[in-house]
Structure 1
Amino acid sequence: MDTYMALVDVTDETVQNIQDLATIWGDLTGDIEALGGELLDAYAIIGEHDYLIVFEAEGRDGAFKTSVSIERYGLDTQTMEIIPVEELGGLVDDI
């Protein structure tokens, strides 16, 4: 499985408070698992974006499906693949 992060912004007026958001997180976790992935971490962000979600998915297609699933809840995502810094040395060795 590959690891991805999504910068998430609340765009739907139906998400008015923390209780609404808590309900979404439970559903969101279930959706990610149903797609064969796993929610690894989630953080609230003070700044340009509202949340950071870190998840595992089965390749690019799984990450795309996960992002679309997240957006169904009135959340806008910018999703990127991430790799641990420890693995960078292995990439250099391959060049």
Structure 2
Amino acid sequence: MPKYASLVDVRKDFQNPQELTSIWGDIRADLEEFDADLTDTYAVLGEYDFLVIMDAPERDAAYQAGIALERHGLDAQTMEILPTEQLAQVVEDV
């Protein structure tokens, strides 16, 4: 199943850090509606606030999952990712 990464910025004002961390269960449930599986989330120091890794069966499901992130007050830049081992196979004949 293809993997996708979302670089996420928080755009909504949350009352406190606990409220922000509490949304991940709701996000996981929303993504499952679109057949996307939230595999990992990371807090990020730097330009973005979070990194979200998910599996989705197809690009349309990844788009829908990205929109679901937006509904929770998050700006998400979602892209397909490829393990470097798989990249080596893809470029082998180049």
TM-score, normalisation: structure 1: 0.91
Could you say which residue in structure 1 is the equivalent of 2:67? 68
The Cα of 1:28 is off from its aligned counterpart by: 0.3
User: Which runs of no fewer than 5 residues in structure 1 stay unpaired?
Assistant: none
The Cα of 1:82 is off from its aligned counterpart by: 0.2
Indicate the SS of the match to 1:66. helix
The Cα of 1:16 is off from its aligned counterpart by: 3.1
Could you say which residue in structure 1 is the equivalent of 2:11? 11
Cα distance per residue 1:25-83 (max 9 Å; x no partner): 01001111121111110000111110000001121101100000000011000011000
Could you say which residue in structure 2 is the equivalent of 1:82? 81
TM-score, normalisation: structure 2: 0.92
CA distance in structure 2 between the aligned counterparts of 1:54 and 1:80, rounded to whole angstroms: 10
**Identity among equivalent pairs (%):** 46
CA distance in structure 2 between the aligned counterparts of 1:11 and 1:32, rounded to whole angstroms: 19
The Cα of 1:94 is off from its aligned counterpart by: 4.7
Indicate the SS of the match to 1:55. strand
CA distance in structure 2 between the aligned counterparts of 1:43 and 1:72, rounded to whole angstroms: 19
Task: List, as ranges, runs of 4+ consecutive aligned residues in structure 1 with deviation greater than 3 Å.
Answer: none
Could you say which residue in structure 2 is the equivalent of 1:48? 47
